[in-house]
Amino acid sequence: MRKFFTLTAATAVVLALPTAALADGHTESFTAQIGQANETGASATADLVLDGNDLTVSIDGDGFFEGFPHAMHFHGEPGGDNICGPLNPGDAGFEDADADGDGFLSVVEGVPAYGAVTVSLTTEGDTSPDSALAVDRFPTSSTLDYERTFEVSDEVADNLSSLHIVIHGADLNGSGEIGDLENEDGTLKESSLDPDLPFEATAVAACGQIVTAGTDTGPDTGAGGTAPASNNMGGLFAGLLALGGLGTVAARRRGTVTA
Ligand SMILES: [Cu+2]
């Protein structure tokens, strides 16, 4: 009998631990499946761990252009109705998003859906939107291999699952280099953000929504815990159907850095 009670007490302590850790450490996990845009064939997986305002972001990619800086950002208004939107020719709504009809989704053409830059995922230094085009501080490998811990604002920390990770830079004409895509008249195609940059340098290569991955949830940590990712995905699809128009209006009103 004594042994039975000892075990029960120990079990109770173990079961209570996750709740205590959640309250003290405020550690939450998120993930993002980042899929190709502009038919780049590039994709990535992001894992995010939030500890208070300290956010650790790990991104492992595949198929990105080797040897060119890939600007990577959180896009979206924290708490807003942001979506990746139609990313590839053939996606529903792509022709509407591709405002100039050139068959490519430029950075600016993607903004009505995914919103402005909220965080710049630089390898060092500043992570604000001011560093959106800090080309000397972004990953340059085909696999990205990114991991960094940095501080985020309360607004970002509280609304991570309303944001997206957008990765830029792609060899869209398959020439083996970035920066030689031409317009129909043979002139060099410029970035929608900065005419001094080539279109391919900032073009959208991939996008993925950040969704809650939760903590080490057991059945006893459900109350007040984080929603399963599937719920967020449901919200994403609902948003695609219902909120595309609103997103356009909101993004036009914002008009901040849009890389
Ligand atoms: Cu961006």
What is the Å distance from ligand 1's center to 118 Cα? 9
Dump pLDDT digits (tens) for 15-65: 434 433 344 567 899 999 999 999 999 999 999 999 999 999 999 999 999
What is the Å distance from ligand 1's center to 127 Cα? 12
Write down the pTM of the prediction.
Answer: 0.75
CB distance 170 to 39 below 8 Å: no
What is the Å distance from ligand 1's center to 132 Cα? 7
What is the Å distance from ligand 1's center to 179 Cα? 18
Spans of all domains in the chain? 26-254
What is the Å distance from ligand 1's center to 88 Cα? 16
Q: How many CB atoms lie within 10 A of CB 8?
A: 10
**Predicted local confidence at residue 24, as pLDDT:** 53
Tokens of 193: 């953000």
CB distance 226 to 210 below 8 Å: no
Dump pLDDT digits (tens) for 100-149: 999 999 999 999 999 999 999 999 999 999 999 999 999 999 999 999 99
The residues that bridge with 51 in the sheet, in sequence order, are 27, 54
What is the Å distance from ligand 1's center to 70 Cα? 9
What is the Å distance from ligand 1's center to 72 Cα? 6
Question: Any idea which fold 26-254 has?
Answer: Immunoglobulin-like (2.60.40)
What is the Å distance from ligand 1's center to 200 Cα? 13
Amino acid residing at 149: T
Q: In what order do the strands lie in the sheet with 72-75?
A: 117-120, 72-75, 164-168, 204-214, 27-36, 43-51, 54-62, 146-151
What is the Å distance from ligand 1's center to 184 Cα? 26
What is the Å distance from ligand 1's center to 115 Cα? 9
**Predicted local confidence at residue 5, as pLDDT:** 39
